[in-house]
Amino acid sequence: MGVALKAKNLVTANALRMLISSVKNMEIEKRGILTEEEILGQVQKAIRIRREAIEGFTKGGRTEMAEKEATEIKVLEEYLPAQLSDAELESLVTAAISETGATGPADMGKVMKTLKERIAGRAEGAKVSECVRRKLKPAA
């Protein structure tokens, strides 16, 4: 963050400042140091919040604010591990379904629990849920 401030890159500095604040607040709530997985969760949460803000700004015709949020997302994404491709995600989901013996939508929780550690910041939760839901959907 110090480098961003010295370079007068306020968008980057702001994004990092908000992330640090979020992590510190969660540590206070937890009363302890966060695990790497929890920190990655905070980065993903910050990105999700900004995506929602972009949607609102776009609907409200505030493109300059939407662009600022998009720039902050790019800054935050640098702190996530490389994201899984769709094929890699599908493969992990298929393996988790097989391992847990899941047969339908009622087993989604078991599959998601198995995937949680394997994916750890490499895919958005909504994307993972959608893939699991699609794979567990009963054949019509």
pLDDT tens by residue, 62-118: 999 999 999 999 999 999 988 899 999 999 999 999 999 988 888 899 999 999 888
The range of the structural domain enclosing residue 118 comes to 86-136
pLDDT tens by residue, 97-112: 999 998 888 889 999 9
Tell me how far CA of residue 28 lies from CA of 31, 98, 126, in angstroms.
Answer: 5, 39, 27
Same domain? For 26 and 70 the reply is yes
Q: How many domains does the chain have?
A: 2
Same domain? For 61 and 114 the reply is no
Same domain? For 16 and 70 the reply is yes
Same domain? For 15 and 65 the reply is yes
Same domain? For 18 and 50 the reply is yes
Phi and psi of 121, rounded to 5°? 80, 0
